[in-house]
């Protein structure tokens, strides 16, 4: 994906780093609440399709590699750190592109939030549990939500960019 920088971005990278920081703070605050008030496996019924739970994920998305011998903690931490460095570079290069930068900042905040968990606990704290007809979607957290929203916005930005190029 080749992107042109739109110069004259005004404040540059700082608003986007601020957004990423807000995501990290909200993510860590909510996880601290869960760790403080719930034991592993505890759940609170909220609606017929949503519970608040305490789950630990030693793997990646959908518990990928969660059953590995422990090496995955450092592997996913390394991926998160490399991704954060790359995203900061992308933000610096494209700070004036609002949707793209919003997407990158959301992904950055989510990635850093989950890296903090891996470094502090050896797992990611998940607590949002959606379910229907007895089937549960894997539990997730604010960081995961930010990464997902960022990925959707990246796709929308690319579709918009391709449409403009025609």
Query: For residue 2, is it within any domain?
Result: no
| pLDDT one-digit tens code per residue, 91-132 | 998 888 999 999 999 999 999 999 999 889 989 999 999 999
What total of structural domains would you count in the chain? 1
Among 27, 117, 129, 144, the active-site one is 144
Question: If we measure between CA atoms, which residue out of 136, 49, 160, 149 comes closest to residue 106?
Answer: 149
Q: How many CB atoms lie within 10 A of CB 41?
A: 9
Residue 90 scores a pLDDT above 60: yes
Among 27, 126, 129, 157, the active-site one is 126
| Weakest-pLDDT range from 17-31, 51-65, 73-87, 134-148 | 51-65
Query: For residue 113, is it within any domain?
Result: yes
Q: What is the pLDDT of residue 30?
A: 98
Report residue 2's pLDDT band, with 50, 70 and 90 as the boundaries.
very low
Question: If we measure between CA atoms, which residue out of 123, 152, 112, 125 comes closest to residue 22?
Answer: 112
Domain that holds residue 73: 14-165
Active site residue 126: yes
- Name 73's Cβ contacts closer than 8 Å, sequence gap at least 6: 58, 118, 122, 123
Query: For residue 94, is it within any domain?
Result: yes
- What is this structure's pTM? 0.85
Residue 60 scores a pLDDT above 90: no
Active site residue 157: no
Report residue 147's pLDDT band, with 50, 70 and 90 as the boundaries.
very high
Question: If we measure between CA atoms, which residue out of 14, 145, 136, 126 comes closest to residue 66?
Answer: 126
């Amino acid at each position: 994906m080749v992107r042109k920088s739109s110069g004259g971005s005004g404040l540059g990278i700082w608003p986007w780093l601020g957004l990423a920081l807000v995501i990290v703070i909200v993510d860590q605050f909510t996880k601290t609440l869960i760790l403080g008030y719930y034991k592993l496996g505890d759940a609170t019924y909220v609606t017929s399709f949503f519970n608040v739970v305490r789950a630990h994920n030693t793997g990646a998305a959908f518990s990928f590699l969660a059953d590995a011998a422990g090496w995955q903690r450092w592997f996913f931490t390394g991926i998160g750190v490399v991704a954060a460095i790359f995203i900061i570079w992308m933000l610096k290069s494209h700070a004036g592109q609002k949707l793209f930068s919003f997407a990158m900042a959301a992904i950055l905040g989510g990635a850093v939030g989950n890296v903090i968990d891996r470094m502090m606990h050896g797992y990611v704290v998940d607590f949002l549990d959606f379910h229907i007809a007895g089937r549960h979607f894997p539990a997730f957290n604010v960081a995961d939500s930010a990464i997902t929203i960022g990925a959707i916005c990246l796709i929308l930005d690319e579709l918009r960019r391709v449409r403009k190029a025609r």
